[in-house]
Structure 1
Amino acid sequence: MNEREFLENYDPRAFEPLAVTVDVVTLTIREGRLKVLLVERGEPPFAGRRALPGGFVRDDDLDNAARRELAEETGLLPRVHLEQLASFGDPGRDPRMRVVSVAYLAFGPSLADPVAGGDAATALWADVDAAGPLAFDHDRILAAGLERARSKLEYTPLATAFVGDEFTISELRSVYAAVWGEDLHAGNFHRKVLSVPGFVESTGATTERSSQRGGPRARLYRAGDARILHPALLRPAREEEVR
């Protein structure tokens, strides 16, 4: 059978229905804590349950569908890097039909308060450690997004986007602590940051006040020109793994 004959005899009813959705893990830091953007579903299935913003792909491509759903359900269209995270296709993940979700990660500073819209009853920023349980398999998607964000801080200078143009090493450490979810030894962190070529560079200035009573004023730094951190700034647990 040639291709023309195949198309003439093709019957789509011979195949199970399949839909594609997008779900977006949007992370930011507020008041020193890592937050995730969630909506409360206003319609079944899982009405009243928290979920990640998302929905069905229509006549747009995947990237635009992710931006559209984020804007429709939360009122946010962050001007941040939006990257494809992973695909999730467990046959039982959606009670309506077979649905494959393409998940995205958005991670940016100074994101606004959300405003619910579309089929979302409410939208809110929630602490990542108190976000679940979420609808569908969104706990699993959130976990994947957290791991991606935490890894990006190991290998890229992304953390410098969450501090001012000039910052102290202590302020940078607070970003890592919030995203990694663990306290970091101040001296060890300081030494590691300064050992990575191009990560940060000194401004030659210091803060107006000392960080501790009677102590010296902290030095100010700015982001360097590195795009990849080498050596990587590994999480304490990961350092133990590679030893």
Structure 2
Amino acid sequence: MSEHPPFAVTVDLAVFTIRDGALAVLLVERGADPYAGSWALPGGFVEPQEDAETAAWRELHEETGVAKFDGHLEQLRTYSAPDRDPRMRVVSVAHVAFAPDLPEPSAGSDAAGARWWAVDDVLGAPDGPTLAFDHEEILTDARERVRAKLEYTTLALEFVAEPFTLPELRRVYAAVWGLAPDLGNFRRKVLGTDGFVVPTDSHDSAGGRPALLYRRGSARVIQPPMLRAASD
């Protein structure tokens, strides 16, 4: 049998939430080489007894102090460029996760720091951080995955805590897409899609005019989709 070079499987997580009206991503400052001092997505090596999802939640907690949360988690794709990690051949199973009101992180494990960043301050920002490994590519793909899913699914609901108002839900689309959907079209899609949202008997009077409060419905697909406007 021929000898094979060292090979490892890792997980990386693009964890999103909405903070101060903007889509935010959780990053860690690497405390060890390679890329010591650079910012990166949370992640690490998959242990022999673990599956990828278990490793993802474990690494998230070890590096940021953020425990497994109720929200959305899915695999994004596998990143396998031969030179993506200078230590050895490493294949990463990247994940996307998001939920409302996620907590402030605290650096742990081999992380020197951990914090939320507005995605727009990371991707394409001239004074933004340079991400380690191929994490800029992963983050770019993750943001596009979320943007696309909000067009044809009800996953925007996973960014708001219940109960919520329609303006709060519309602000999720504005944060993720970078542009709020047309108000009339938004209301028609949300209220016209059976099971998208369920009205409660309560109103939110904060800010003046009372707004009806809603909860998540059972619908998962928006058909036809709520397409985002083309951005400049």
What TM-score results when the alignment is normalised by the length of structure 2? 0.87
Partner of residue 64, structure 2: 74
From 222, 230, 242, the equivalent of 2:223 is: 230
From 63, 72, 78, the equivalent of 1:87 is: 78
Matched, 1:166 2:172: no
Number of aligned positions between the proteins: 223
Q: Summarize deviations over 1:69-99 as a string: whole Å, max 9, x none.
A: 1111111123233211101111121112211
- Structure number with the higher helix fraction is 1
Percent identical = 55
Partner of residue 56, structure 1: 45
Matched, 1:104 2:95: yes
Is the partner of 1:166 in helix, strand or coil?
Answer: coil
Is the partner of 2:230 in helix, strand or coil?
Answer: helix
- Correspondence 1:57-206 to 2 at 5 A: 57-59=46-48, 60-79=50-69, 80-131=71-122, 132-203=129-200, 206=203
From the superposition, tell whether residues 164 and 89 of structure 1 become closer, same or farther in structure 2 (CA, over 3 Å).
closer
CA distance in 1: counterparts of 2:226 and 2:31, whole angstroms: 42
Q: Summarize deviations over 1:167-206 as a string: whole Å, max 9, x none.
A: 3321111011111122333233223322322212444655
187-196 vs 56-65, greater mean Cα deviation: 187-196
CA distance in 2: counterparts of 1:73 and 1:218, whole angstroms: 40
Is the 1:116–1:122 contact (alpha carbons within 8 Å) kept by the matching residues of 2?
yes
Is the partner of 2:143 in helix, strand or coil?
Answer: helix
CA distance in 1: counterparts of 2:88 and 2:214, whole angstroms: 53
Corresponding letter in the other structure for 1:179 = V
Is the 1:109–1:161 contact (alpha carbons within 8 Å) kept by the matching residues of 2?
yes
Is the partner of 2:151 in helix, strand or coil?
Answer: helix
- Correspondence 1:17-36 to 2 at 5 A: 17-36=6-25
Is the 1:26–1:106 contact (alpha carbons within 8 Å) kept by the matching residues of 2?
yes
Corresponding letter in the other structure for 1:192 = K
Higher gyration radius (CA): 1
CA distance in 2: counterparts of 1:76 and 1:177, whole angstroms: 26
Q: Which runs of 5+ in 2 are unaligned?
A: 123-128
From the superposition, tell whether residues 19 and 209 of structure 1 become closer, same or farther in structure 2 (CA, over 3 Å).
closer
CA distance in 2: counterparts of 1:89 and 1:137, whole angstroms: 10
Is the partner of 1:171 in helix, strand or coil?
Answer: helix
Corresponding letter in the other structure for 1:98 = R
Is the 1:22–1:102 contact (alpha carbons within 8 Å) kept by the matching residues of 2?
yes
Is the 1:197–1:230 contact (alpha carbons within 8 Å) kept by the matching residues of 2?
no
Q: Summarize deviations over 1:128-170 as a string: whole Å, max 9, x none.
A: 1112420110000001111111122222222223334333321
